[in-house]
Amino acid sequence: MTADFVELDQSSVSGILHIGGTILGTTNRDNPFAFKEHGEVTDKSQMAVDVYHSLGLECLVVIGGDGTLNIAHELSELGLKIIGVPKTIDNDLVLTEVTFGFMSAVSVATEALDRLHTTAESHHRVSILETMGRDAGWIALFAGVAGGADVILIPEIPYNVDSVHQKILQRRKKGKKFSLIVMAEGAKEEGVTLSDKKTKMSYVLEDALEKRGFESRCTVLGHLQRGGSPVSYDRIIATEYGYQAARLIIERKFNQVLVLQGSEITSVALDRVSGLTKFVPVDHNLIMASRAIGVSFGDEIKKEEIKS
């Protein structure tokens, strides 16, 4: 049994507010319940429990997204005391309005859209920006609104190419020779299932639009969204999440996850969060507002109206 740990004191966390990443070297890839080693998958959870007890820990503060908090929940069932802190760029944890990391990713995606705007406009092209978001379209929605995208495609609203085509044409009629599309990596075209997991829907859309006569360029933002300096909003909520986590430890209130609701950070039981995904509601205010000003979500032309 190896107990690899770092003792944290004030000096270890001093001067890191403005940088991203992890000072611990932690990763969300190693699941102690299904640990991959030498081509085999084994359950090493008891080892994690033993290390926890051998170090005399009072609780584990677990910082991460759905995968991490699910593991934390399973560990809590083995008797470990947990405090969860919602950190993911995906913003898809239930019961919390904003996870930290999300606004930084939105800001990177918005800046990318601004840059693509310039070149799309000069070259009279359709620019497609693919953001992260396998299951939930939060980054695409927020960046799309902030970056003034003409079309926003998210997993929660399956799209058809006819609706996207129509929006581009409408803009052309108004003298706008370019269009900006932002799509989440998990956006789904109605009736299409990709056989190859490596194929990206953003490239499929780029192809489809090219075939319809629109010069198109696709940019996959990928991991650029997960790196670099956090925006001030994330620094602020991370500071408060940290403070509230410490408060829970002092109060010995365990097996809780911190959540931001309204302007307040409170906590809810870990089992109310684990295993669930916060999808973008299809009637979210930002979707309604965007539709009202003519943004397409790729679903305006209904299935029955599409000629085969």
Active site residues: 90
Residue 68 interacting with ligand F6P (CB under 6 A)? no
CA dist list (Å): 302 to 126, 155, 158, 173, 289: 23, 17, 11, 22, 20
Cα separation of 92 and 98, whole Å?
Answer: 9
Min separation Cβ 79 and ligand F6P, Å:
28
- Can you say whether residue 136 is alpha, beta or left, with left for phi > 0 and alpha for psi between -120 and 50 degrees? beta
Considering beta carbons, is residue 60 or 224 the nearer one to ligand F6P?
224
Dihedral sign, Cα of residue 52, residue 56, residue 58, residue 64: negative
Considering beta carbons, is residue 69 or 132 the nearer one to ligand F6P?
132
Considering beta carbons, is residue 228 or 300 the nearer one to ligand F6P?
228
- Write the interaction track for ligand F6P spanning residues 237-266; mark x where CB under 6 A is met and - where it is not: ------------------------------
Among 134, 176, 253, 302, binds ligand F6P (CB under 6 A): 134
Among 44, 212, 226, 284, binds ligand F6P (CB under 6 A): 226
Cα separation of 160 and 273, whole Å?
Answer: 33
Among 70, 88, 179, 290, binds ligand F6P (CB under 6 A): 88
Q: How many helices (DSSP H) and strands (DSSP E) are in the chain?
A: 8, 10
Stretch that binds ligand F6P, among 1-9, 13-21, 86-94, 153-161 (CB under 6 A): 86-94
Residue 145 structure tokens: 């609104």
Q: Which residue's Cβ has the minimum distance to ligand F6P?
A: 132
37 - beta bridge partners? 40
Considering beta carbons, is residue 96 or 216 the nearer one to ligand F6P?
96
Min separation Cβ 231 and ligand F6P, Å:
17
Stretch that binds ligand F6P, among 43-51, 127-135, 263-271, 298-306 (CB under 6 A): 127-135
Residue 65 interacting with ligand F6P (CB under 6 A)? yes
Residue 72 structure tokens: 């934390």
Cα separation of 217 and 106, whole Å?
Answer: 21
Region 161-190 residues binding ligand F6P, contact defined as CB under 6 A:
185
Min separation Cβ 183 and ligand F6P, Å:
13
Residue 283 structure tokens: 């009637």
- Please, which residues have CB within 8 angstroms of residue 185's CB and are 6 or more apart in sequence? 130, 131, 132, 133, 134, 200, 201, 202, 220
Residue keyed to tokens 């799509």: 183
Stretch that binds ligand F6P, among 130-138, 239-247, 262-270, 280-288 (CB under 6 A): 130-138
Cα distance from N-terminal residue to C-terminal residue, the chain: 62
- Give the phi and the psi of residue 289 in degrees, each rounded to 5: -65, -40
Residue 89 interacting with ligand F6P (CB under 6 A)? yes
Question: Rounded to a whole number, what is the largest CA-CA distance in the chain?
Answer: 70
Q: Applying CB under 6 A, which residues contact ligand F6P?
A: 65, 88-90, 132-134, 185, 226
